[in-house]
């Protein structure tokens, strides 16, 4: 009769532990970052985005907390709308970003603050940036918080919602370069300058989309030298008042 083999009770767990350690070691070696590439950025430099994510050469991507990294980016860089981290073999990380586009700005004291079409505050305007944006006048802002929705001094949500709808129509219809100034001195009598030739009177927040359609239809029928006021405040008839 052959002698029985003695198997230690610890051999199974010990073998498993060794395998786990070996796997962890292989992952720690295989997933180290040696090259970092940023794609899609324009407002921020690649270094600013990499620093916000807090990733650097030598980091192990397998153990890297991507959710926390992306959260840091949104908190630190308000112009970032979307961000993703992708591993490209053998040791490269690609950071893909989509940035919010500043559409308008307003003045608070001596400072110019930018925001997107959804009235999300993006930050103070960089030197010369305001030349590419639409100035909002007559609106009295309250406390401004970066990454938060713009608010008025008296917390009038109706005014902000109206501003959102106006900016949306301007962006959606591709006329941001034509709009020179939007006057929100009165929510019921909003108007804006269109190029050098027209003042557009929108009036109250009613039927904003329809009013924009009326305005652009009227402009398409006017002659190149026509100058005046296009009034669509009643949302049913276009009134052109030359001057």
Confidence of residue 65 (pLDDT cuts 50, 70, 90): confident
Q: What is the mean pLDDT of the chain?
A: 87
Give the residue among 124, 122, 77 at the shortest CA–CA distance from 102. Answer: 122
Average pLDDT over residues 201-220: 96
* Domain interval for residue 124: 104-242
Same domain, 52 and 140: no
- Specify if 3 maps to a domain: no
Confidence of residue 178 (pLDDT cuts 50, 70, 90): very high
Is residue 57 pLDDT above 90, yes or no? Answer: no
Look at residue 3 in the predicted model and tell me its pLDDT: 56
- CATH code of residue 29: 3.10.20.310
Tell me how many domains the chain contains.
2
Cα dist. 181→81, 105, 113, 133, 216 in Å?
Answer: 26, 10, 15, 9, 17
């Amino acid at each position: 009769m052959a002698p029985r083999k003695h198997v230690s009770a610890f051999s199974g767990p010990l073998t498993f532990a060794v395998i786990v350690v070996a796997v962890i070691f292989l992952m720690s070696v295989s997933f180290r970052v040696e090259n970092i590439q940023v794609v899609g950025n324009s407002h921020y430099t690649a270094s600013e985005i990499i620093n916000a994510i807090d990733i650097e050469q030598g980091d192990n991507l397998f153990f890297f907390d991507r959710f926390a990294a992306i959260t840091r980016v949104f908190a630190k860089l308000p112009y970032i709308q979307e961000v993703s981290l992708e591993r490209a073999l053998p040791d490269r990380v690609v950071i893909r970003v989509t940035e919010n586009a500043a559409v308008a700005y307003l003045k608070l004291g001596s400072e110019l603050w930018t925001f997107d079409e959804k009235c999300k505050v993006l930050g103070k305007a960089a030197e010369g940036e305001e030349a590419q944006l639409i100035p909002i006048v007559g609106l009295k802002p309250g406390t401004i918080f970066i990454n938060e929705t713009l608010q008025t001094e008296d917390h009038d949500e109706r005014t902000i919602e109206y501003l959102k709808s106006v900016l949306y129509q301007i962006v959606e219809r591709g006329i941001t370069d034509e709009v020179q100034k939007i006057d929100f001195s009165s929510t019921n009598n909003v108007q804006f300058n269109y190029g050098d030739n027209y003042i557009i009177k929108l009036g109250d927040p009613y039927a904003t989309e329809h009013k924009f359609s009326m305005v652009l239809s009227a402009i398409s029928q006017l002659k190149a030298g026509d100058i005046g006021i296009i009034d669509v405040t009643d949302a049913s008839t276009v009134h052109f008042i030359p001057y």
